[in-house]
Structure 1
């Protein structure tokens, strides 16, 4: 698996058109190491995923759609890593589902809505200002639903 990560990292480096200095700075920022060969498999996976997300956002590679469902442990870990504003977006989204205003409460559905609203591919990539925009949009959606419900 390590060889696959290394090869993918170098392919993504080319697709992102990173200079050697920029590439090493990226590695250093993510892992504290300046070479993928000196990294653990976990660090290589982290770098690969980060670069994949960058390449997807820049449009130099197609977005991956092969996401596996989260296990309970992964979900708990992701929830704990989410910022308070991200958790607020989730809470509002799930409340809209309970109120019958959102048919599909899944992460994929939320991420699709987030992409339409603020142009980032997933909630976890939203900036603070974008999260504020999302929260206000969800609150307005709730208000409209209450007026028509």
Structure 2
């Protein structure tokens, strides 16, 4: 929540809002005049609204958004090198006969069990490293048989 509040204040500054304009916007969107009194959902709504205003005004760069309905190819194109490495190892395990389902949902389920994040896209660098090492170890166990 602190990240949302900090982003809201930064966006307000970039938009050149006065204190009165800022408070009026908060009240208009949430019925509350303070960001500290808002829920996470309300903070996200205010942040998204201010981000869109900033993008339209040209004072804020567009945020890179990951669409929930994106295809596997689109997700792969947006992935970091570590995420692509996880996918490559996952597919290699499939070719080796150790993984039967190569869908993103199956990979995300494995990631959830391994590093306790909902999806590969949400994994941090160290979590991705853990996934990579776990997949390599899985491959190594297969070769030792």
Same fold (TM over 0.5): yes
Instruction: Identify the residue that residue 48 of structure 2 maps to in structure 1.
Output: 27
TM-score, scaled relative to structure 1: 0.56
Please list every run of 5 or more consecutive structure 1 residues that lacks an aligned counterpart in the other structure: 1-9, 11-15, 35-42, 50-66
The alpha-carbon deviation at position 79 of structure 1 amounts to: 1.6
Does residue 73 of structure 2 align to residue 100 of structure 1?
no
Give the aligned partner of residue 18 of structure 1.
Answer: 40
2:53 is paired with a residue whose SS is: coil
Aligned partners of 2:91, 2:105: CA distance in 1, in Å?
13
**For residues 1-149 of structure 1, what are the structure 2 equivalents within 5 Å?**
17-18=39-40, 22-23=43-44, 26-27=47-48, 31-33=51-53, 74-148=71-145
- After TM superposition, the score normalised by the length of structure 2 is 0.57
The structure whose Rg is larger is 2
Alpha-carbon separation, structure 2, partners of 1:117 and 1:19: 28
Please tell me the root mean square deviation across aligned C-alpha atoms, in Å: 3.4
Q: What is the number of residues matched between the two proteins?
A: 102
Deviation (angstroms), 1:27: 2.0
* Change over 3 Å in CA distance of 1:141–1:129 after alignment to 2: same
SS of aligned partner of 1:104 = coil
